[in-house]
Structure 1
């Protein structure tokens, strides 16, 4: 299934004249992949094309790859590679040794290199091969050497430089375009200029091709929150960091073993950031911004309007449970709240399971109503000790309810009103487990509180609760 060829010596002398001595000192490999999709950890390679250029000449090699998974119809239409074509092709594991040998010691050159590098990194990881090449992206190279042009897609480059297109969206055909582009670069620029540009690009993190490196250089090395935006200014991801610059760079210089990381890095077109006075400030700002902007790749810290808890209250000498949401004005202050659940369905299922586990009465708790019988259903199957029909005294059942639910208890707000949490010169204003903002003076803090009551926030509850345990002396009452 693999094909390999070496260009004749007469042709070699012509095509190498421009790109050597670079390739003789720095062997290079132009690589292109076709895949079943865009997620490096979930999708698989269907074809690989490699053109090796070194002191010994130019060698072309390509092979279909059995992805061991169906190829989506739209991918088949784009590439022309069908499920039937790869059915008898070797798997990547069977090709891994040869591919590794061909790429060993060479600069890895690809268009939107993070995509191809990410797929090979994951495929090699599955087979136990190490894969850490120097990576050069031809999109970034084109942007650097031809800054006067707005578009740097492979189609745009082929049209602009009048490259010979053989098989577009096939691995070897696209690798050949990269090799032609490499030669065009050396025809239009001095070898020293090309080598200097290449050296700078491969020594820097592999940023997305459409992201301006100047944005990265401007990010400070302080606490804060960073925001990634995609096409049309839509927020993609929000994160917090103790060192903004280092954390942002980690998104673009890692191995991208997680498909989410790879997807975020490929989609990011703009980066923004907000400095914070410290770690607590960054955590609180991140939680608030995620709820406000709802970025597509943030799953945690989302809006918690459906958050609810069980409130225990006495009725006829027995403790009953009722569900309350965060819009309840006493939610943050009631010492008889238990749980914190994402929604009512989850809360009811959890309490029913909990009651069965501790032999608590569903009727007394309010989970079930008696219908034409003197005891609850659980009592009939020996899962209730009889609080519903008088066999268990109410005081005994109440005590067991409180003891069993104690690990679920929601900590009530420990202050009479709002407080300012001091951190590195900043004042984080919090009241009733709600974050109002960060200011510099107590006067500004009081003005924030005067704007009105804020809703209980489960993330602030968790963040500030842990911080108060470690920093009880850094609280200023307002």
Structure 2
């Protein structure tokens, strides 16, 4: 007699692959214990959106078939009672469990269960198998498949596969392997990288599809293995994490000496490769700000993408603001103009000669036609921009921030000049050549500025800062 267990074998069909956008259209469940199949359950589900023709052509389920079916809310209590106390077992379990869990959540039910992916179980028991698709495994085990891509038929096939595995390897061995798998974090079934071998040290990690050179996602952490595991042990309801888990097949790591170098490397790599799942940092390349110039004594404002060269002094051409884009800078400047009755023409927001349109509406005091004197206008403009003033570079020249990691034994020197990240060198002797880095890295990025400002403001006492000649 095999050891005691209670598994819910589950298969679903859906309108698509997006857990928060698509909907379940069919569910089938077999409850199996050491006594065999003790319950079966099957329902068509009326989805909240129509079934695409591409799905109907694969599953055979049409909109007409589900028109009179109950929606998920009508069957949720019954299904929850059926699954309660069971290990959730499915082929590519992240997909089925993610949809079921999210559907319960949308109906006010919190569902949590141990999850066993039979793809992982098969990989553990049949490591030489070329394909782990349900139909391929059934064929390899001489199991007939009928009505593939219908939930009830696929659950029946899955049950036959489990019974065959148990008979060939013994129930006790299969259950022991299965228990080890479902007690671990839910590592994606397609992932060929051994997550346990990733370093628990600082660096950048990159998710890839196996044969695609373009990254799916780039992340950073001071403890890479722990952070990567967190991607795969969530509640499956976040669409980005769910989609990543369905696609990631390998992970690469670039070690760094500390958190600062990891942050900067991540930012630069995201801008270079623009991974589809890194939206926040992808296009924020050059810092945008307000630059003041003078026209007939009046200060004028231009929106610029800032660069600097080696000879420029810290106090010249002060830039106000640190914006992600020209659009964001323009929107903020228009608010400043309105709040402080500044001249839109002198601020570069209006073309032409003579009085500006705002002067005619009594929203400008007339600096555009010299009605308002230079001194009060300039003072009001400077006061308005004071909160947007970029921090003064607090060093006479460039600096290098030294980081050392005792885990991976890396030492790195990250070089900065005038808030610009110039690069990373691995030994102190190379710092003498920092001026070459200025010529190679003249752009001023928003993210590098914010990262360095935060570190110098809050963490400077934790780092060894070297002032360079």
TM-score, with normalisation over the residues of structure 1?
0.89
Which residue does the alignment assign to 1:436? 422
Query: Where do 1:10-49 residues align within 5 Å?
Result: 21-22=2-3, 25-49=4-28
Which residue does the alignment assign to 1:460? 448
Query: Where do 1:89-168 residues align within 5 Å?
Result: 89-168=69-148
Distance 1:333 1:138 in 2: 65
* Equivalent position to 1:475, from 457, 465, 469: 465
Which residue does the alignment assign to 2:322? 340
Once the two structures are TM-superposed, the CA of residue 471 in structure 1 deviates from its matched residue by 3.9
Query: Where do 1:205-220 residues align within 5 Å?
Result: 205-212=185-192, 215-220=194-199
Distance 1:334-1:119 versus aligned 2 partners, 3 A rule = farther
Distance 1:175 1:208 in 2: 21
* Equivalent position to 1:75, from 31, 55, 74: 55
Distance 2:287 2:63 in 1: 47
Distance 1:234 1:453 in 2: 25
Distance 2:114 2:131 in 1: 25
Distance 2:105 2:425 in 1: 48
Query: Where do 1:385-404 residues align within 5 Å?
Result: 385-404=365-384
Q: Give the superposed CA RMSD.
A: 2.2
Once the two structures are TM-superposed, the CA of residue 185 in structure 1 deviates from its matched residue by 0.4
Distance 1:438-1:345 versus aligned 2 partners, 3 A rule = closer
Once the two structures are TM-superposed, the CA of residue 477 in structure 1 deviates from its matched residue by 1.1
Distance 1:459 1:267 in 2: 28
Query: Where do 1:280-429 residues align within 5 Å?
Result: 280-305=260-285, 307-327=287-307, 329=309, 334=316, 336-371=318-353, 374-424=354-404, 426-429=412-415
State whether residues 323 and 446 of structure 2, in contact with CA within 8 Å, keep that contact through their aligned partners in structure 1. Answer: no
State whether residues 305 and 326 of structure 1, in contact with CA within 8 Å, keep that contact through their aligned partners in structure 2. Answer: no
SS of aligned partner of 1:300: coil
Once the two structures are TM-superposed, the CA of residue 149 in structure 1 deviates from its matched residue by 1.1
Distance 1:334 1:412 in 2: 11
Distance 1:332-1:113 versus aligned 2 partners, 3 A rule = farther
State whether residues 325 and 331 of structure 1, in contact with CA within 8 Å, keep that contact through their aligned partners in structure 2. Answer: no
Once the two structures are TM-superposed, the CA of residue 274 in structure 1 deviates from its matched residue by 2.1
Q: Which moved more, 1:307-316 or 1:334-343?
A: 334-343
State whether residues 112 and 209 of structure 1, in contact with CA within 8 Å, keep that contact through their aligned partners in structure 2. Answer: yes
Q: Which moved more, 1:300-309 or 1:70-79?
A: 300-309
**Structure 1: stretches of 5+ with no match in the other structure:** 1-19
State whether residues 433 and 458 of structure 1, in contact with CA within 8 Å, keep that contact through their aligned partners in structure 2. Answer: no
Distance 2:307 2:169 in 1: 66
SS of aligned partner of 1:365: coil
Task: Render the CA deviation track for 1:233-291: whole Å, top value 9, x for unaligned.
Answer: 32111111122111110111111221001111111111111222222122122112222
SS of aligned partner of 1:466: helix
SS of aligned partner of 1:21: coil
Distance 1:440-1:305 versus aligned 2 partners, 3 A rule = closer
SS of aligned partner of 2:440: coil
SS of aligned partner of 1:362: coil
State whether residues 332 and 456 of structure 1, in contact with CA within 8 Å, keep that contact through their aligned partners in structure 2. Answer: no
SS of aligned partner of 2:345: helix
Distance 1:277 1:40 in 2: 38
Distance 1:89 1:290 in 2: 46
State whether residues 285 and 446 of structure 2, in contact with CA within 8 Å, keep that contact through their aligned partners in structure 1. Answer: no
Distance 1:426 1:246 in 2: 23
Once the two structures are TM-superposed, the CA of residue 148 in structure 1 deviates from its matched residue by 1.4
Distance 2:149 2:43 in 1: 14
TM-score, with normalisation over the residues of structure 2?
0.91
Once the two structures are TM-superposed, the CA of residue 376 in structure 1 deviates from its matched residue by 1.1
Distance 2:313 2:359 in 1: 33
Distance 1:370-1:293 versus aligned 2 partners, 3 A rule = closer
Distance 1:120 1:273 in 2: 33
**Structure 2: stretches of 5+ with no match in the other structure:** 405-410
Distance 1:76 1:418 in 2: 63
Distance 2:162 2:35 in 1: 17
Which residue does the alignment assign to 2:29? 50
State whether residues 10 and 88 of structure 2, in contact with CA within 8 Å, keep that contact through their aligned partners in structure 1. Answer: yes
Distance 1:298-1:334 versus aligned 2 partners, 3 A rule = farther
State whether residues 26 and 43 of structure 2, in contact with CA within 8 Å, keep that contact through their aligned partners in structure 1. Answer: yes
Count of matched residue pairs: 454
Task: Render the CA deviation track for 1:124-168: whole Å, top value 9, x for unaligned.
Answer: 112222222111111111111111112111121122122222221
Distance 1:82 1:331 in 2: 70
Once the two structures are TM-superposed, the CA of residue 180 in structure 1 deviates from its matched residue by 0.9
